[in-house]
Structure 1
Amino acid sequence: MAAKPTLTNRIVYSFELFEQVLARGGTLTIVVALLALSWLNSPWAASWLYLWENPLTITFGKFSIAKPIGFWVQQVLLALFYLALGLELKRVLRVGELKERPDMLFAIAAALGGMLIPAALYLYLAPAAAQAGWSVVATAEAAAVLALLALASNSLSLSLRVFLSSTAIMQGIASLLLSVILYTSIQNLLALSVATGVFGLLVVLRALRNRSMWLYLLLGLVMLVSFLLAGVQGAVAGVLLALVIPIHSRVLEEDFVTTTDTIMGQLHALRMMKRPEPGEEIEEDFQAAAHTLRVNCTESLSPLRRLQRKLLPWAAYLSLPLFALAYVPFAYNSFAWRDLLGPVPMGIFVSLVLGKPLGMLLFAWLASLTGIVRIPASVHWGQLTGGTLLMGAGFMLSLFQGQQVFSATEQLTLVKISIYAASAVAGLLGLLVLAVAGKTKDLPHTQV
């Protein structure tokens, strides 16, 4: 029986890898969230509380931060997740599937509608004391969307998947930055100055075409710690670092193809000269050629793709699941069911389930009337309707925003439950509409 081939014989594009890893991470996060709920409501609930409230101190020069472990999960590990999201969005918009202006503008218009309409609906329904909660419904999460799309069908249009993933990332990053700008109270101006200076240095390094990945990461870490000392969410450092990572390779495509063809020609010539018996390999020549190709491939990858390839599994399989373990649970006996009908929980539920898809579809339709945008290839409005419904199911980043706004209030448990309920309803409705809308084949993939 022939051995199962282990080599890939087709080009695998960046989005496919991003989609696979993030969808698996989203699925793992849902499983961990259910386990966390069981843990907190079990006889071992005290161990859960002890784990996340246990302090951990990190020292940076003469400054030090002593915070619970849960704080580091929220501020540091989610910074890693936002870095991975920022890298993917930069790739998609600069050289990827949305690099053409009509495609980019269509996605931006839909993302804007998916923020403004649910935020406006929430502000209309919520009391004045809870107005800052608009960020809970303005955000979206690509991991949950991609995990649900994987359940919908493997044959759904690539264009639809890219569009939904990209608009979710846009909403997640934009809502984060807006909430930080509007509601952050600076605790240390010196630390904020250091963080700003480090970002300026990163911009200069990018302008000088510096490609030392370790230097970017080291300065990014300094920027992260400085932001934390200043009282700014660590996720901002992840977004800003993604902005400056170089996206282009220093190796020309023609040189890569020519060099690869030359090496393969040399290996083929060696086989012809040595004429190995059937089943016999010229091991040393074969391994030397494979190693040379590997070195050339690594050198040919852009810094953005190298960093994304290394960090994405950590972001998907560590950051989100640990955040779910630390912040998803709530005690079943800590609320009254009638309180779920209050203006804040209902505002969140209605805004995520109805406001988000209506906003995305409305703004996408209005943008299409201008003639300067382009609906994704092989996607029809029925699929867009189902996909935009799924956008209300991104419970992790909504919960992240909810933690920032309601952490010191009695509303937090109600906010959590309303987010989970909205995610479940939006996810089920989206999958149902996608099943009814049918499936279409994608056009040939010809991205850079």
Structure 2
Amino acid sequence: MLKTLIWRPFQRLVDFASGSATGGLVLMAAALLAIIVANSTLGPLYFDLLNRHMGPLSALHWINDGLMAVFFLLVGLEIKRELIDGELATNRLRVLPGLAALGGMLMPAVIYLAVNHGDAASMRGWAIPSATDIAFALGVASLLGKRVPLSLKAFLAALAIIDDLGAVIIIAAFYTPHINLFYLALAIAVVVALAGLNRAGERRLWPYLALGCVLWILVRSSGVHATLAGVATALCIPLSDEAGRLPSNGDCTHSPLLRLEHALHRWVPITVLPLFGFANAGISFAGLGMSQWFASTTLGVGLGLVVGKLIGVFGTAWLAIRLGWAEMPRGASQVQLFGTALLCGIGFTMSLFIGTLAFPDHPELQDEMKLGILAGSITSGIAAWLVFKAIANRSLSLSPSVPVESPHK
């Protein structure tokens, strides 16, 4: 009886809070709370706690290197599922979101580099505006309801998944300062062992997760960012059941990957991501003037998210459709595609994460980066909201009015 009265309502609350719309709002609330705390009398305590060491790492590093590995584990699971049995399972399905994601990563980087040309320190942040925040973007899309067609929500989800894959590659290729070959070789051996478990038909999760923890230690010791251990572990976890059958109708009973993905989906959006947002979004406005708001790093990130994502995603998608390489998502218009491209300019979690890697020893650049992310993401979100609201109002105004017959006729 006690379990029924307490545990089940708690489970329902968790399910509701981890939904795409609510999860985005929780992340937004955490970021806002961080800004409020950082600019209150609790500000010194906030920054002191984040920098306080707990064993070999500071609290901030435990969050960014440790907890975020769980987020990257979830990202890896989503990427593998979508590529094998989802929105990216065939070449035809991959064309439009793939090209749009590529354009959406290249154009923000080009704009950022153009704004920061000649500043070697700032130019390290070229990848910051290239990342779309899947939780925020899909959260806003969900809040817009039926104004955003289901086909465009699927397009946005697929694009964000490819975007995350691109961000993982960028982190591995461009933000690894040094490599210890001994530990890297040991990490590769563990990945081979994980792949061997898959080939041997192991369907229990604990051996994969145990080796994943070992892999995290070795990857971090190698100099490659530790969170990539989460992605590598995820890609080795089997999607199929013992007989090699893929899950049908979302049934996760016999699929290790889906079981873990569903479990993480319930907790990561309401624990890991808000904690990451709270720890990284805090910026003190004390001493910040117009020079910081109009600094090249701030402008590069902000313009990259708002203008670069719009041009890259919409322009590439429009061109691909125009050339006949891909089809417009079913039931969607070009204006709705334009609004969806604006949603892609909401870059928060991954953008902040890349920013911490780009400027580890430049706190002033980190502040400017955060200002750019906040300004660019808010502008993109509001602009997308206004576009879809205008579409809905126009559709309503163009709807034919039905005359009501008088009952006395």
The CA distance in 1 between the partners of 2:341 and 2:298, in whole Å, is: 21
* Cα drift, residue 136 of structure 1: 0.2
Which position in structure 2 is the counterpart of 1:36? 34
Q: Which structure has the bigger radius of gyration?
A: 1
Q: Helix, strand or coil for the counterpart of 1:301?
A: coil
Q: Helix, strand or coil for the counterpart of 2:19?
A: helix
Equivalent residues in 2 for 1:399-414 (5 A)?
399-409=352-362, 410-414=364-368
Task: Find the partner of 1:368 among 297, 312, 321.
Answer: 321
- Residues 1:164 and 1:254: Cα distance change in structure 2 (over 3 Å): closer
Q: Structure 1 residue 107 and structure 2 residue 61: aligned?
A: no
Q: Structure 1 residue 415 and structure 2 residue 369: aligned?
A: yes
Which position in structure 1 is the counterpart of 2:44? 46
With structure 2 as the length reference, what TM-score do the two structures score? 0.85
The CA distance in 1 between the partners of 2:232 and 2:172, in whole Å, is: 13
Q: Structure 1 residue 429 and structure 2 residue 383: aligned?
A: yes
* Cα drift, residue 18 of structure 1: 11
* Cα drift, residue 254 of structure 1: 12
What count of residue pairs does the alignment treat as equivalent? 376
Which position in structure 1 is the counterpart of 2:334? 381
Alpha-carbon displacement from aligned partner over 1:92-146 (angstroms, at most 9, x marks no partner): 2321233232121111111101001111111111133122211101111100101
The CA distance in 1 between the partners of 2:64 and 2:247, in whole Å, is: 44
CA contact (8 A) 2:147 2:389 kept: no
Q: Helix, strand or coil for the counterpart of 1:233?
A: coil
The CA distance in 2 between the partners of 1:22 and 1:220, in whole Å, is: 27
The CA distance in 2 between the partners of 1:433 and 1:141, in whole Å, is: 19
CA contact (8 A) 1:103 1:376 kept: no
CA contact (8 A) 2:147 2:392 kept: no
Equivalent residues in 2 for 1:209-358 (5 A)?
209-250=201-242, 300-358=253-311
- Residues 1:314 and 1:234: Cα distance change in structure 2 (over 3 Å): farther
The CA distance in 2 between the partners of 1:362 and 1:20, in whole Å, is: 33
Task: Find the partner of 1:152 among 144, 147, 159.
Answer: 144
The CA distance in 1 between the partners of 2:199 and 2:324, in whole Å, is: 35
* Cα drift, residue 370 of structure 1: 4.4
Which position in structure 2 is the counterpart of 1:193? 185
Which position in structure 1 is the counterpart of 2:5? none
- Residues 1:249 and 1:349: Cα distance change in structure 2 (over 3 Å): same
RMSD of the TM alignment (CA)?
A: 2.5
What letter corresponds to residue 71 of structure 1 in structure 2?
A: H
* Cα drift, residue 367 of structure 1: 2.3
CA contact (8 A) 2:108 2:305 kept: yes
Alpha-carbon displacement from aligned partner over 1:338-362 (angstroms, at most 9, x marks no partner): 2322222111111110111110112
The CA distance in 2 between the partners of 1:255 and 1:346, in whole Å, is: 46
- Residues 1:165 and 1:334: Cα distance change in structure 2 (over 3 Å): farther
- Residues 1:78 and 1:23: Cα distance change in structure 2 (over 3 Å): farther
Which position in structure 1 is the counterpart of 2:53? 55
- Residues 1:253 and 1:414: Cα distance change in structure 2 (over 3 Å): closer
Identity of aligned residues (%): 32
With structure 1 as the length reference, what TM-score do the two structures score? 0.78
CA contact (8 A) 2:247 2:254 kept: no
What letter corresponds to residue 35 of structure 1 in structure 2?
A: L
Q: Structure 1 residue 80 and structure 2 residue 70: aligned?
A: yes
* Cα drift, residue 246 of structure 1: 1.1
Q: Helix, strand or coil for the counterpart of 1:329?
A: coil
- Residues 1:23 and 1:90: Cα distance change in structure 2 (over 3 Å): farther
CA contact (8 A) 1:117 1:359 kept: yes
The CA distance in 2 between the partners of 1:231 and 1:303, in whole Å, is: 30
Alpha-carbon displacement from aligned partner over 1:356-402 (angstroms, at most 9, x marks no partner): 11101122123224434333222222111111101111222211111
Q: Helix, strand or coil for the counterpart of 1:133?
A: coil
CA contact (8 A) 1:127 1:343 kept: no
The CA distance in 2 between the partners of 1:369 and 1:406, in whole Å, is: 40
* Cα drift, residue 46 of structure 1: 2.8
The CA distance in 1 between the partners of 2:248 and 2:36, in whole Å, is: 53
- Residues 1:18 and 1:164: Cα distance change in structure 2 (over 3 Å): farther
Structure 1 unaligned segments of length 5 or more: list them: 1-16, 58-65, 258-296, 441-448
The CA distance in 2 between the partners of 1:321 and 1:256, in whole Å, is: 32
* Cα drift, residue 84 of structure 1: 1.2
CA contact (8 A) 1:86 1:169 kept: no
The CA distance in 2 between the partners of 1:150 and 1:19, in whole Å, is: 13
CA contact (8 A) 1:137 1:398 kept: yes
- Which sits farther off after the overlay, 178-187 or 18-27? 18-27
The CA distance in 1 between the partners of 2:166 and 2:47, in whole Å, is: 32
CA contact (8 A) 1:110 1:361 kept: yes
